Every structure is written in C-alpha cells, then in structure tokens.
Amino acid sequence: MNNVLILIFGMALVTYIPRLLPFLIVSKSKLPDGLRQFLTFIPYTALGALIIPGVFNSIPELPLAAIMAILFATIYAWKKGGIIVPVLGSIGVAFAVLYLNNFLGL
C-alpha cells in the first residue's frame, strides 16, 4: 500500500510540474500584445480541430446533414450568441435532414 501512495504522489508531481512552470514564468513577465492576442485564439482553434472532423465523420452516408447543422450553429451563434440554442438547433437540423432524406428519399 505504501508503494502505491508513493507512486500516486510521484505521478501527481510529474503531472503538476509541467503545468506550473509555464504559469510561473509567464506570470512574472509582460507578454507582447501580438503574442497575447495570438494566445487568445488557441482555445477556439483547438476546439474546432477536435470537433469539426468528428462532425463530418458522424454521418458519412449523408454529409449534407452535418454541413447544414454546422451552418445553422455557426450562423445562429454568430448573430445571437450562446451555446445551448446552437447545439440543440444543430441537432434538430441534422435530424430534420436525415428524416427528410429517409422519408422523401432525397
């Protein structure tokens, strides 16, 4: 049991140090405005890189449903903001396109 606790503490320390060091280094210095602005875009690009491929691969037999859902979510979020309505609306749009495809045979 003692070895397990040492192993858990060691893994926690090894995981925590790489997260702490950049914070300590960056917090003491002022970043240039260009770099600061560049760093603000990283969460959006990372989220897009993780989500967009999965959306297009979710319905490979009918990519139009994914495209229409993405278009709805993008336009609604751009105009009105929020996250709940674009997500639920894009689900509804994808469902409607899939239903129309099955019902009408488009």
Residue 99 pLDDT > 80: yes
106 — pLDDT class (breaks 50, 70, 90): low
Q: Is residue 35 part of a domain?
A: no
Which bin fits 82, alpha (ψ -120 to 50), beta or left (φ > 0)? Answer: left
Do 13 and 54 fall within a single domain? no
For the full predicted model, state whether its pTM sits above 0.85. no
Residue 64 CA: distances (Å) to CA of 6, 69, 85, 87, 105: 53, 8, 20, 17, 14
For 59-96, the pLDDT digits (tens) are 888 888 999 999 999 899 899 888 899 999 999 999 99
Whether the CA torsion 80, 85, 86, 90 is positive or negative: it is: negative
Q: What is the pLDDT of residue 6?
A: 92
Do 49 and 95 fall within a single domain? yes
Arithmetic mean of pLDDT, 23-45: 82
Do 62 and 14 fall within a single domain? no
CA distance 35 to 76: 30
Looking at the chain, how many residues does it have?
A: 106
Q: What is the pLDDT of residue 21?
A: 84
Q: What is the pLDDT of residue 26?
A: 73
Do 26 and 45 fall within a single domain? no
- When comparing pLDDT for 43 and 1, which is higher? 43
Q: What is the pLDDT of residue 1?
A: 67
Domain with 45, as residue range(s), is: 41-104
